Structure formats: C-alpha cells, structure tokens
A and B are shown apart, each in its own frame.
Chain A
C-alpha cells in the first residue's frame, strides 16, 4: 500500500539548473497538489490538479511548472532553480467530493546553492 510516493527524497541543485520532482499515487484520486514548506511559513500551495488534464495555480506558482501526466502522476518542474526555491516539497492527493482526507508523500528536500 504505497499511497503517495515522491522522488527524489533529497536533491542539491546549482542556481540555474533544472529538475523535475516526481509524484505518483495509487489510490485513484482525482485531485493532486504540490506544496512547499518553509520554516515559519507552514505549507503553501504551489499548483494543484483537480483532475487528469487540468492544472491550476496556487498561492506561490512563480518559478514552477507542473504536468498531470495521467491520473496517477503529477510532476513539478523547476526550469531555472534559484536559492529562494530551497524548501521541502510535498505532494498530496485527495478524492474530490466524498471522503475529505488528503494523503501526503514523505517530501523532497531541495537545496539550491
């Protein structure tokens, strides 16, 4: 029972490098989310996807792009990493309507130097 799986768990990038954070869920959920967590800031929503084929900006989308590849996978891309994007990134999934619980991955700790 994997739930929400994020890869990689840790990553160090140089300023200007690009990378994609991967997220997959095996619960057949429609909605998926990307959050970032910074000290004293709580979790802030970067992007979300209400269903396969749709994505929308959250509170802090600048510097990021997302792809909802299929129902299972929702990836987050940093095209040109900046030190301000050093953070812990969490992916979550949730069924729309019905059960309210959101399930979180274990997080990706990204450092941009």
Chain B
C-alpha cells in the first residue's frame, strides 16, 4: 500500500537553512505536498509540486522532487523561530478511482535563537 516516510525531528539555529526530507511509494501520485501545523492549529498548505516538475521555488521555500528515487524535500532558507512547527509531507493517491491524500508522520522543526 501507499506509505510516506519522513524523519521525525530536526533542530536548526535561526538564520540557517532547514531541509526536511520525505520518501513516498506511489509512483502514480499526481501531486506532492508540504503542510505546516503550528501548535494547537490545523494544517496549512505551504506548497505543492506537480509530479512532472523537479523543482519549485516560492520565496524562502524550495521543493525538490526526485521521481526516480521517490524522494521529496523541502528547504527553508533563513529559518526563523516562527518556522518552528510540524511539517507534513503528503501525496495524492487513488483509492477505488477516487483521490485522497496520504500523509507522513510529520517532522517537528525546532528553530533556536
């Protein structure tokens, strides 16, 4: 079945770059996503990438997709303390012809001053 794996924890200093990695299994995924969850809040879509792209940049965020290795990464440049949150990788998957989202367990990013 579909599975999304990501490391559970990352700690960086303010101003450094953060890289969060994810691997997925469904080669037919149309879109791959990064969601952010702040404490006590719901999930906020950060960015997504279409499966026929290999890179997407959006301000401080860079998403890299390696379809051959089924590897997705999120790079946050100039990481700030406000970036501390849980980051979820997700893939769109098809179940019985319908599209759903399958999430990883989340990476907790801790940014220290």
Contact = CB atoms under 8 A, between A and B. Distances in A.
Interface of A: 31, 33, 35, 40-45, 48, 50, 56, 58, 90, 92, 94, 96, 100-107
Given A43-B88, A100-B48, A48 B100 contact: yes
Interface of B: 4, 8, 30-31, 33, 35, 41-45, 48, 50, 88, 92, 95-96, 98-106
B39 to A, nearest CB: 12
Contacts, number: 59
A44 B96 CA distance: 17
Contacts of B45: 101-103
A96 B100 CA distance: 10
Contact of A100 (B30, B42, B88, B104): B30
Given A101-B48, A107-B42, A56 B98 contact: yes
Contact of A31 (B30, B42, B99): B99
B100 A45 contact: yes
A45 B43 contact: no
Given A50-B98, A56-B96, A107-B42, A42 B48 contact: no
Contact of A90 (B4, B31, B42, B100): B42
A56 B98 CA distance: 10
Contacts of B96: 56
B42 A42 contact: no
Contacts of A94: 99, 101
A27 to B, nearest CB: 13
